[in-house]
C-alpha cells in the first residue's frame, strides 16, 4: 500500500502526544480495593473524555457492581470504531486499566504516579502494565482518522478493570455476563511480550500450587522411637512425587520455554524452633506448571496416591490442598486469525517473522480461550511489570502503534 509509509510517519509524529497521554494516565492511580484503592472509575472517565475528543463516540460501559469501592462500580468500557467491511468479524484489543501498588517506595528512583521521561524511556507504575499498548492502539487509530482512513474490520477497544486481582469485576465479568464476544473475531491482549516483539503467545500451562501438610508426632530428637518425624516423611514425599510426575508427564512442547512441565518444591514453613526436637508437623509447597496436553485432575490423583503410600510406610498423615489450581485453556491454533493477522502486520511494518510461544500460565487471554475464542498475547516490551521503576522504551510504544495502524487496514 502506497500510503503506508505516510501513515507510519504520521504515527511516528504522534510520539510526544502519546507520551503526554500515557503520563496523564499514570497520574491517575487505579488500584483495586484489596490494595487500598478506589478502583478504576476516575481513570476510565478521563479516557472516555479523550476518546470522545478523538472522534470515537460509540462508547459502551459494562460496569460490574462492587460495593467495596466508593463509586460502587468497576468500570469496563468498550469503544467501537466501525470498519469498512461489515461482513468481517470485529478485531478486539483488550487492555486493563488497573495497576498494582508501587510496593517498597524506597526502591523507586521517581514518584511512581508521576511519569518521568529519561533516556528514551518513560518511568511510572502502569507504564508497561498495561498503559503502553492502550495508548499505542488508540493513537494508531487516530493516525488513521487523520488520513481519512477507516479500519477494514470494526475495531473494539475493550478496557477492563480488576485484571491484577483476578478479573472477577473485569474480563471474567464481561465474558460471563455480557454477550459481546460471541460475534467472534481476532482478539489481541497486548499485556505481555518480548523486547524483540517477534513472539506471539498462544498457549499456557496449567498451574497447580500444591500444599503438602505432613502430620507425625513430635518428640525429643535423641529418642526418635517416641515420635514420628514429619519432616523426614515430607522429604521422602517431595522426592518421590517429583519422580512419579516426571515419569508420568514427559511431554516436551517446543512452543514453551522450558518445553517440559515444571515441578518445583518451593516454600517451606517453619516447623520446630530447636534442633533437638523431631517435628510433628511439616508444611511445604510445590509450584507445578503442567503442559496443556495433561489433565491436572489426574495429577492430583497421582499426588494423593503417593501421599497414601508414604503415609502408610512412614506412619504419617499427608494432607494435600491447592493454593492455586488453574487448568490451562486450550491453546489458540497457530492458524487462528488473531495469529495470522497480527503476524502479517508485524511483518509488513518491521520485516520480521513471528513465532508462536507459550508461557507458564495465567493471562487474560485464557478467559477467551476457555470460551473457544482465539486470543493472543503480544506486545514489544522488556517485561518489567510489577517491579519498582516500571518503565517502557518509548520507541516500543511508537513502533507497536505502527503495527496496529497496519493491522487496522488488513482484511
Question: What's the closest the beta carbon of residue 326 comes to Zn ion, in angstroms?
Answer: 16
Between 249 and 368, CB nearer to Zn ion: 368
Question: What's the closest the beta carbon of residue 364 comes to Zn ion, in angstroms?
Answer: 8
**Catalytic-residue membership of 9:** no
Between 129 and 282, CB nearer to Zn ion: 129
Between 28 and 263, CB nearer to Zn ion: 28
Three-state SS for the chain is CCCHHHHHHHHHCCHHHHHHHHHHHHCCCCCCHHHCCCCCHHHHHHHHHHHHHHCCCEEEECCEECCCCCCCEECCEEEEECCCCCCCCCEEEEEECCCCCCCCHHHCCCCCCCCEEECCEEECCCHHHHHHHHHHHHHHHHHHHHCCCCCCCCEEEEEECCCCCCCCCCHHHHHHHCCCCCCCCCEEECCCCECCCCEEEEEECEEEEEEEEEECECEECCCHHHCECHHHHHHHHHHHHHHHHHHHCCCCCCCECCCCCEEEEEEECCCCCCCCEECCEEEEEEEEEECCCCCHHHHHHHHHHHHHHHHHHHCCEEEEEEEEEECCCCCCCCCCHHHHHHHHHHHHHHCCCCEEEEECCCCCHHHHHHCCCCEEECCECCCCCCCCCCEEEHHHHHHHHHHHHHHHCCC
Residue count of the chain: 411
**Binders of Zn ion: how many residues, by CB under 5 A?**
3
Site string for Zn ion, 112-131 (x = CB under 5 A): -----------------xx-
Question: What's the closest the beta carbon of residue 202 comes to Zn ion, in angstroms?
Answer: 18
Between 162 and 282, CB nearer to Zn ion: 162
Choosing from 66, 98, 204, 390, the catalytic residue is: 98
Between 210 and 377, CB nearer to Zn ion: 377
Between 191 and 336, CB nearer to Zn ion: 191
Question: What's the closest the beta carbon of residue 164 comes to Zn ion, in angstroms?
Answer: 7
Question: What's the closest the beta carbon of residue 385 comes to Zn ion, in angstroms?
Answer: 6
Residue whose C-alpha cell reads 511483518 in the numeric block: 347
Asked if residue 132 binds Zn ion (CB under 5 A), the reply is no
Tell me how far apart the alpha carbons of residues 30 and 39 are, in angstroms, rounded to a whole number.
Answer: 5
Choosing from 163, 164, 204, 390, the catalytic residue is: 163
Among 98, 128, 162, 191, binds Zn ion (CB under 5 A): 191
Q: Which range binds Zn ion by CB under 5 A, 23-31, 189-197, 241-249, 269-277? A: 189-197
Between 130 and 154, CB nearer to Zn ion: 130
Over the range 250-260, which residues count as b (16 or more CB within 10 Å of their CB) and which as e? Answer: eeebebbeeeb
**Catalytic-residue membership of 98:** yes
Site string for Zn ion, 144-183 (x = CB under 5 A): ----------------------------------------
Question: What's the closest the beta carbon of residue 61 comes to Zn ion, in angstroms?
Answer: 21
Question: What's the closest the beta carbon of residue 191 comes to Zn ion, in angstroms?
Answer: 4
Task: Confirm if 323 and 201 have CB atoms less than 8 A apart.
Answer: no
Q: Which residues lie near Zn ion (CB under 5 A)?
A: 129-130, 191
Instruction: Give the catalytic positions in this structure.
Output: 98, 163
Amino acid at each position: 500500500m502506497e500510503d503506508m509509509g505516510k501513515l507510519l510517519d504520521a504515527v511516528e509524529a504522534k510520539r510526544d502526544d502519546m507520551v503526554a497521554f500515557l503520563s496523564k494516565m499514570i497520574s491517575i492511580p487505579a488500584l483495586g480495593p484489596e490494595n487500598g484503592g478506589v478502583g478504576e472509575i476516575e481513570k476510565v472517565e478521563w479516557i472516555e473524555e479523550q476518546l470522545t475528543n478523538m472522534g470515537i463516540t460509540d462508547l459502551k460501559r459494562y460496569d460490574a457492581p462492587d460495593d467495596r469501592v466508593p463509586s460502587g462500580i468497576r468500570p469496563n468500557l468498550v469503544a467501537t470504531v466501525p470498519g469498512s467491511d461489515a461482513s468481517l468479524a470485529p478485531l478486539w484489543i483488550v487492555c486493563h486499566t488497573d495497576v498494582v501498588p508501587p510496593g517498597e517506595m524506597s526502591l523507586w528512583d521517581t514518584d511512581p504516579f508521576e511519569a518521568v521521561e529519561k533516556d528514551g524511556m518513560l518511568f511510572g507504575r502502569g507504564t508497561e502494565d498495561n498503559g503502553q499498548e492502550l495508548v499505542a492502539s488508540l493513537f494508531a487509530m487516530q493516525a488513521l482518522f487523520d488520513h481519512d482512513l477507516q479500519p477494514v474490520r470494526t475495531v473494539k477497544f475493550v478496557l477492563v478493570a480488576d485484571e491484577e486481582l483476578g478479573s472477577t469485576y473485569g474480563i471474567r465479568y464481561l465474558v460471563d455476563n455480557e454477550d459481546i464476544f460471541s460475534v467472534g473475531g481476532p482478539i489481541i491482549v497486548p499485556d505481555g511480550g518480548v523486547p524483540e516483539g517477534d513472539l506471539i503467545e498462544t498457549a499456557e500451562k496449567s498451574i497447580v500450587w500444591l500444599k503438602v501438610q505432613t502430620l507425625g508426632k513430635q518428640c525429643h530428637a535423641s529418642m526418635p522411637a517416641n515420635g514420628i518425624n514429619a519432616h523426614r516423611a515430607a522429604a521422602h514425599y517431595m522426592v518421590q512425587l517429583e519422580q512419579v510426575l516426571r515419569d508420568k508427564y514427559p511431554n516436551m512442547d517446543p512452543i514453551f520455554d522450558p518445553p517440559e512441565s515444571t515441578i518445583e518444591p518451593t516454600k517451606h514453613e517453619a516447623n520446630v524452633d530447636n534442633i533437638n526436637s523431631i517435628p510433628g508437623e511439616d508444611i511445604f509447597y510445590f509450584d507445578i506448571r503442567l503442559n496443556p496436553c495433561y489433565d491436572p485432575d489426574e495429577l492430583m490423583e497421582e499426588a494423593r496416591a503417593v501421599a497414601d503410600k508414604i503415609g502408610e510406610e512412614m506412619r504419617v498423615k499427608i494432607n494435600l490442598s491447592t493454593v492455586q489450581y488453574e487448568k490451562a485453556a486450550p491453546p489458540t491454533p497457530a492458524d487462528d486469525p488473531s495469529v495470522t493477522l497480527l503476524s502479517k502486520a508485524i511483518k509488513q511494518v518491521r520485516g520480521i517473522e513471528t513465532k508462536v510461544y507459550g508461557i507458564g500460565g495465567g493471562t487474560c487471554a485464557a478467559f477467551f480461550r476457555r470460551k473457544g475464542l482465539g486470543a493472543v498475547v503480544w506486545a514489544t516490551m522488556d517485561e518489567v511489570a510489577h517491579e519498582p521503576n516500571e518503565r517502557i522504551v518509548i520507541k516500543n510504544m511508537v513502533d507497536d502503534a505502527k503495527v496496529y495502524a497496519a493491522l487496522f487496514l488488513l482484511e
